[in-house]
Amino acid sequence: MELINIENNVALLDAFTSKQIAEFEAAIKDIKEKEDNLKQAILNEMENKGIVKLDTEDLTINYIASTDRETFDSKLFREDHADLYDEYIKFTPVKSSIRIKLKWTVGK
């Protein structure tokens, strides 16, 4: 089975594959949201109860306190010192990939 067909110079993704990917993406988004909510609840309780480490049979949870992170503003540096920026810039290969964005919510 071909996943992508070309008709009149337009690439068309197989309808079943498109629906399947959309359903997977929606399920992943839903599960991720539930996971994030549960993690936030655990974080809140750990902070409220002064717990820094939890050990269970299945996992270990460590509390990491908030902190300030130091970052380098490369955009501003490039604007102010373009010649120096060009001397120190390095390029790193990045493998090809695809990005999928849902146009609708599965089940609606």
Strands (DSSP E) found in 15-102: 53-55, 60-62
**What is d(CA 101, CA 99) in angstroms, rounded to the nearest whole number?**
7
Q: Is residue 101 part of a domain?
A: no
Query: Can you give the pLDDT at residue 105?
Result: 62
In a domain, 102, yes or no: no
Domain, as residue range, for 75: 4-88
Q: Domain for residue 52, yes or no?
A: yes
- Asked whether residue 60 is assigned to any structural domain, the reply reads yes
SS3 for 12?
strand
Q: What pLDDT is attached to residue 14?
A: 93
Number of separate domains in the chain: 1
Model confidence over 70-106: pLDDT tens digits?
Answer: 999 999 999 999 999 999 999 999 999 978 777 766 5
Q: What confidence category does residue 108 fall into, taking pLDDT thresholds of 50, 70 and 90? A: low
Longest distance between any two alpha carbons in the chain, whole Å: 64
Q: What is this structure's pTM?
A: 0.69
**How far apart are the C-alpha atoms of 29 and 26, rounded to whole Å?**
5
